[in-house]
Structure 1
Amino acid sequence: MGWLNAWSMLLSAAVSFLFLACLFRPLEMAFPAKASQRFFRPDWWTDLCFFLGQYLLWSGLVLWVLGYVNLWIDSLVPGGFRSAIGAQPVWLQAVEAVLLSDVLIYWAHRWQHSNAFLWRFHSVHHTAEHLDWLAAHREHPLDSIYTIGLINLPAVILGFSLNAIAALVVFRGIWAIYIHSNVRLPLGPLRMLIGAPELHHWHHAKDRRAGNYANVSPLMDIVFGTYTCPDHEPEEFGVEEPSPTSYLGHLVVPLLPKQRKPQPPEEPANDPSAIR
């Protein structure tokens, strides 16, 4: 039975890959943000490893951890309150979940960029020097637990129905891939309400504090002064500090203790009495 499960997982990953490629590749060809970027661009194979790792290895770990967290939250939240929330229409629950999680993930994401410990894992996502739908999967599994857990936390606490949570997970997954895609749509001022790939592209500029921390709607960035969107694409994506070049390196290096930078030797005090 083990080989049947493995085959099923491989088939599911292959179908997902083909579905996403058929969905986003035509958009990238019709509305390219960077027209010179090729399909098989540098690090394409590394990002394919991240894709396969997510589907074949780490998604199960993430769901296992979140399952235990959900059980713990279930014991803390009053059942009557959650029942009232769950009685609402599914569409209304989904809207509420998106709005609440957008507020939470804005501050959580902003903290990832300012906190040294969180940044060592989140920086893996930012090492991508070329953005497209496949690069969206470049993510350390511990960073995935942090992000996915917080995005779904409001829905879990409020007791939204499983259908609403499932719709939220699917929607945010597709949205995350869309905003990383090599696409620039002519949305105009509308992008200030619903977001757009060019906003997240500027978030991936080399400046670690470039802004655009919001997820679906950029309203939080506008309110707190972190919204930015010039009329051109960033010249470079990536991070300032050195980073691994292999898939395994990206997984292991954030787990290693950070080496302290050597301090320059102290210069002897200019004390004439010490000269003999």
Structure 2
Amino acid sequence: MIDLSDMVGVSRSATLVLAWLVAIFVPLEWARPMSPGQRRLRAGLATDLAFFAGQHLVFGALVVWCFTGALERVPQPQALATLQSGFGRLPLVVRALAVIVLGDLAMYWGHRLQHRVPLLWRFHAVHHSAEKLDFMAAHREHPLDGLYTQFFMNLPAVLLGFSFEGLLGLVAFRGLWATFIHANVDLPLGRLALVFGSPRHHHIHHLRERDPGNYANLAPWIDWLFGTHRELDDEQLARIQRGDGLDLGLDEPGPKTYLGLLVHPFRPK
């Protein structure tokens, strides 16, 4: 039986998260917009709000359940236990940096596969169906695609025995940064742009191309390392300066509603 108090608590938590995101990103998007002409109440906003609600009220708990269930059932080799023991003796800062870098490398290749393997693209295309980007568009993600992403990002941390509390902190940090890079914000990072992903860097990834580059959400240096880093060309920069925005989304037609996008990957082509 569903515990009503648990549902109320989850709903309250989701409302607080949304309030914090609005408080952080609405002023940023107003002060330094990537696309100045983009309306706040844009087309597709209701769909993205539905994805946000689905993530926080239903599918987020499902991801945690899948991970914890898998960890309880997978046997642990002695070599892995020895590795975890040695890793656990390292300073916390070193351990945190290690799992972030290894998670970024794993997700980079996982992300490239999402764009190259037709079955994976069916689900990942839901995320790329957004034709306007802002901080709410970051949450447009099919739950199975989200489970795939969380698997790659957190697998190194899980294998190395990173604490559950630390893992939750990493998930929260990555989620906030994913929200930032989708935001309608043009915030120059200077030299840090090679270390940390930015909206300008990630908006290129959402251009109407199947292989757009910029697959590393958090660490652009990985794209530099493997030759997939992309910059805006002069025409695209001129469009941004005119307030026209970039040509984002998919060339293939598809549904616009939340339920339609959830079902679409399962339909035969």
Match of 1:71 in 2: 72
Q: 1:82 is matched by which residue type in structure 2?
A: Q
Q: Counterparts in 2 of 1:88-103, with a 5 A limit?
A: 88-103=90-105
Q: What displacement does 1:8 show?
A: 1.3
Match of 1:252 in 2: 263
1:54 aligns with 2:73: no
Distance 1:74 1:184 in 2: 47
Residues 83-120 of structure 1, C-alpha deviations (whole Å, 9 max, x = no match) = 22122222221110111011111111001001100000
Distance 1:88 1:73 in 2: 25
Please state whether the residue corresponding to 1:78 is helix, strand or coil.
helix
Match of 1:145 in 2: 147
Q: Counterparts in 2 of 1:36-47, with a 5 A limit?
A: 36-47=37-48
Match of 2:35 in 1: 34
Q: 1:16 is matched by which residue type in structure 2?
A: V
1:203 aligns with 2:205: yes
Higher relative contact order, structure no. (Cα contacts within 8 Å, ≥ 6 residues apart): 2
Please state whether the residue corresponding to 1:194 is helix, strand or coil.
coil
**Are residues 227 and 73 of structure 1, via their aligned partners in 2, closer, same or farther at CA, if it must alter by over 3 Å?**
farther
1:83 aligns with 2:85: yes
Distance 1:152 1:189 in 2: 27
Distance 2:12 2:198 in 1: 31
Distance 1:177 1:33 in 2: 14
Percent of aligned pairs with the same residue? Answer: 43
Match of 1:270 in 2: none
Q: What displacement does 1:73 show?
A: 4.6
5+ residue gaps, structure 2: none
Between Structure 1 and Structure 2, whose CA radius of gyration is higher?
Answer: 1
5+ residue gaps, structure 1: 260-276
Match of 2:114 in 1: 112
1:14 aligns with 2:15: yes
Distance 1:223 1:89 in 2: 27
TM-score for the superposition, normalised by structure 1: 0.89
TM-score for the superposition, normalised by structure 2: 0.91
Instruction: Tell whether the 8 Å contact from 1:133 to 1:180 is kept in structure 2 after alignment.
Output: yes
Q: 2:133 is matched by which residue type in structure 1?
A: L
- The total of aligned residue pairs comes to 258
The runs of 4+ residues in structure 1 deviating greater than 6 Å are none
Match of 1:262 in 2: none
Farther off after superposition, 243-252 or 87-96: 87-96
Instruction: Tell whether the 8 Å contact from 1:62 to 1:145 is kept in structure 2 after alignment.
Output: yes
Q: What displacement does 1:60 show?
A: 1.3
Task: Give 2:179's match in structure 1, choosing from 174, 177, 180.
Answer: 177
Instruction: Tell whether the 8 Å contact from 1:129 to 1:238 is kept in structure 2 after alignment.
Output: yes
